[in-house]
Structure formats: C-alpha cells, structure tokens
Amino acid sequence: MALAAGLLQVDYIPLAEGAPARWDDVLGLATFDSAPVLADSGDVPVAKILTPVLGNNVYEVWRSSKPLESGRYSRVHYRRSEDVLFGCISLTEDSGLPAATEAAYREVFATVNELGYPHLARIWNYLPRINVEADGLERYRQFNSARRTASIAYRRELTGNVPAACALGSVTGSPLVVYFIASRQAATAIENPRQVSAYDYPPQYGPKPAFSRASVLGDILFISGTASIVGHETIHVGDVAAQTRESLTNIEALLAEAKRFSLDRLTFKVYVRNNADLPVIQSQLHARLGPRAHALYLQADICRLDLLVEIEAVGRAV
C-alpha cells in the first residue's frame, strides 16, 4: 500500500526568511554550518550538520500533514506521525569512531524497531576527517565496518532492500551526526543499472557499504549521494566538470528506474570537495537543470579521495 500524497515533504527555506512560520507540522530539521539555532523549535529534532555552506544557506525542513509527537529513545531524538519518523543522533568520538558509529547505528535500529517504524528509507551520515587514515584504515572505511557490525547485530539486510544514504565529511572536531527517515511501511530500494550496487563493490573499496542508490517512500524519492562512478570505478579523475555531468547522468538513470519522478522537480544537495570548484559545478548543474534549480551547496569531503563532487536529491512524484 502506498503512502497517501502529502504525508512527507521537504522544504529548503532560506535563512533570510527566518524560522518556519509554523512548527506544528514540522517533523524534523537539518541545519548547516553556522545557521542560527531556532529558539522556538520546541521539541522538534534538529540535525546540526557542520559543513561550510557555499552560497545561500537554508533550513532543510521535513513536514507531515498528520498529527506529530516528539520523543527520545536512548540518544535518538525523534518526531513521528502515524506513518513516518524523523530521527537524529549526534555522538562525540570519546571512544573512537568505530565505537561511536556502532553505538549510533545500534541506537537508530533500536529506536525504529521499538517504536514500530522498522523500515529505514533514508539515512544521512556526517563525520569529520572522513578521508584520514587512522590506525591503518581510512576513517570512512572504519565507519563502514562499524555500520555493518551494528547492522549484523540487529539482523538488518546488508543487500537488496537497504536504505538510501550518503556519508560525507564535516568540519574537524564535529561529532558524528546521523539523521534518518523511517516508516511503518517498507520503502522500495532502487539500484542504478550504470553502477555496481555499493553492497556488491569489490573488496578494494574496503568493507561493503550497505546502502541503495535511491529509495521510494509513498510519493517521495530519496536519491543517495551520487558521484562520478560507473561500474564500481571513479571516472573523470581530476575533471570536476565531467564528474558533475556524470553524477547527473547517474541521477537521470535512477529517475528512469523510479519512473514517476522528474529532474526539474528535484531538490539537490551538492557536496563540493574544493571550494574553488564551485563555479564549474554550478554551471554544469545549471546547464542541465536551468538556473532556478533548487540546490544547496556544501563544502564536504567525499568518501573516495578521487571524487570532487557528490550530489543527492529528493523529489516528489509528478
């Protein structure tokens, strides 16, 4: 059974417009960089993502038209309707990144299981120094390994119907921040025919990441972080314009798989490794989408050193 239209929507509200006019229908919020803390947000969960914003900053506001209730389960702060749950957890690395990652994921799984929203549709992950090698393993790979350990402990699927996701670097000194959307009903995972599924990557990329290329929940499409990867290899190494075009082509392939969605109705988050590449990335995006594309640009390290740009998106069915 599909979720009825309007049970979940996202708005990117420019900071300049101030806080959302009403809070009663807000499921959750993501803020970026140094966005002011919103005094009147009450018990709405706020994922504070510490990545520099390039250009105009926005509040990412998730809404639902049904009655909402907030709460906490372990260290997860959540808000839910009868259909969907938005949650976030922020942990410092007091005992190291693997321990923080495993704890975050165990608490996320426990929350969604206990409250009866077992289907994770979309998970966002932000961690500092993502490409730094520590104790002989890149921190992104440490994160992957620990995410996997928690998934196995909770008997979660590791292939097939897994959540859409992204994993990006945040400013040094930031906590690990995970936020997510879960639902009572299963979302549908979508893979990209141009790419090897991430959960089937060959071992050279480290522990296999359990995420899908996109997922559909009701009339919402979540497109995972999408980069210039064809098959399992990075292509256009060193060419940021071509990497941007390839990422958009990958997104178009996902739209073709998902059917009911269109490029010009997506809202994008664009992760830029090097600030200086912003104009090139922006012009490629505008060339494909027109200058009115809804996009938030963030400076963030990406989980392969040769990737210069990664693009995620969310859209509503046409």
Give the binding site for ligand 3EB (CB under 6 A): 125, 165-167, 198, 209, 211, 224-225, 227, 229, 303
Rounded least distance, CB 278 to ligand 3EB, Å: 20
Residue 107 a catalytic site member: no
Find the shortest distance in angstroms from Cβ 209 to ligand 3EB: 4
Nearer to ligand 3EB by Cβ, of 182 and 198: the residue is: 198
- As a whole number of angstroms, the distance between CA 301 and CA 188 comes to 28
Q: Using only C-alpha atoms, what is the Rg of the chain? A: 18
Active-site pick, 60, 138, 191, 310? 310
Tell me whether residue 104 or residue 198 sits nearer to ligand 3EB (CB atom): 198
Residue 25 C-beta: closest distance to ligand 3EB, Å: 29
Q: Which residues of 50-88 are buried (b: 16+ CB within 10 A; e: fewer)?
A: bbbbbeebbbbbbbbeeebeeeebeebbbbbbebbbbbb
Asked whether the beta carbons of 223 and 310 are under 8 A apart, the reply is no
What's the CA gap between 127 and 243, in Å, rounded? 23
Of 182 and 303, nearer to ligand 3EB (C-beta) is 303
**Nearest distance from C-beta of residue 229 to ligand 3EB, angstroms:** 5
CB of 17 to ligand 3EB, least distance (A): 30
- Minimal CA–CA distance to 146: which of 201, 107, 185? 107
CA angle 226, 294, 79 (to 5 degrees): 80
- The Cα–Cα gap between 92 and 101 comes to 10
Q: How many CB atoms lie within 10 A of CB 317?
A: 16
Residue 29 or residue 166: which is nearer to ligand 3EB going by CB?
Answer: 166
Indicate if the alpha-carbon torsion angle 160, 165, 166, 167 is positive or negative. Answer: negative
- Residue number with CB closer to ligand 3EB (32 or 211): 211
The catalytic residues are 310
